[in-house]
Copies of this chain bind each other. A is one copy, B any other.
Amino acid sequence: MKRSLLPLIRKIRLAVFDFDGVFTDNRVIVSDDGKESVVCCRSDGYGLRRLESAGVRPLILSTEPSRVVLQRARKLKVECLHGIADKFTELRRLARRARIDMREIAYVGNDINDAECLKAVGLPVVVHDAWPEVRPLAKWVLARDGGRGAVREFADEVWEARRSSHG
């Protein structure tokens, strides 16, 4: 993480995460009876707790209609909106309702359906293996891939940056 990001990080109050490709490695396991599963990182939960302790509210915003997003969100005890076709409109509505300025939001994504949100927020972030189309939209490219600790890396850095700002 570049030190020039610190002022942006210290401003954020809400961290919005895409699910597939951020909490997961962007793959889906499909079984012959139509069940879907995804592969997540055990260490991400600890990161979410650190975000909260640093005064940043985490939230998952997913286009996918699959119930698998809800299952993971419940286990991680994090707010979740799924099956959202237009993520940008939803993000604006959320921000307005919570009286949070777009500059106070971090958005972590990986693919083209994250583009509008990445362009709109104060701290646009992508995982290391994000698609080439959205990489240029990010101010912060994480060192880790989605589902391989990217959420934890983001949370640890935010937690550290905000702790040291009070030092």
Least distance between A18 CB and chain B CB atoms (Å): 10
Q: Is A68 an interface residue (CB 8 A)?
A: yes
Partner of A31, one of B20, B36, B41: B36
Partner of A68, one of B32, B41, B113: B32
Partner of A29, one of B26, B33, B34, B38: B38
In whole angstroms, how far apart are the Cα atoms of A39 and B37 in the complex? 9
Point out the residues of chain B lying under 8 angstroms from A33, CB to CB: 35, 67, 71
> A43 near B131 (CB under 8 angstroms)?
yes
Q: Is A58 an interface residue (CB 8 A)?
A: no
> B68 near A42 (CB under 8 angstroms)?
no
Q: Is A112 an interface residue (CB 8 A)?
A: yes
Given contacts A32-B37, A32-B71, A67-B32, contact A27 B46 (CB under 8 A): no
